Structures are given as C-alpha cells and as structure tokens.
Amino acid sequence: MKGTIKTERLIVQGFVEGSVDATRVEIKAGGHVNGEIISNDLVIESKGIFEGNSIIKEKHAAIASKQE
C-alpha cells in the first residue's frame, strides 16, 4: 500500500510506503514500512522492517505547542 494512513491502530504484515499517523503501530514478522510513522507506541517484531523516520506523538505535540 502506498499513501497516507491515519488510524487508531495499524498492524502491518505486508508492505506500506508513505506516512502513518496512529496511536499504535505494530510491524509484524514479514511486515515492511518505508516512510514516516507518527505514533505513541511503535512495536517491531523480529524480522519486521522499518525504514524511515519515527516521531513520538506526545513529544511531537509538546514541541508544536512550544513553537506557537
């Protein structure tokens, strides 16, 4: 799947390319994410692949509010 995903919880068992905004992201064995993940919880199982940037939501929101 390519594109932007915004959801509460995402479980990846295939290939995702793009931006993910979720409370919890789980990359299972055989799952592959290439892009940016913005989440509170990120879990990567053994044999799961993540290439890109990860931003923790709580810290991201605190930094954004300081800049305003």
6-32 tens-digit pLDDT: 999 999 999 999 999 999 999 999 999
Q: Give the model's pLDDT for residue 36.
A: 98
Q: 57-64: which pairs have CB atoms within 8 A and are 24 or more residues apart?
A: 57/23
Do residues 34 and 48 make contact, with C-beta atoms less than 8 angstroms apart? no
Q: What dihedral do alpha carbons 36, 37, 42, 46 form, nearest 10°?
A: -30
Residue 65 confidence (pLDDT) above 90: no
Q: Whose structure tokens read 């594109």?
A: 3
| pLDDT tens readout for residues 42-61 | 999 999 999 999 999 876 55
DSSP-assigned letter for residue 1: -
Global confidence as pTM: 0.82
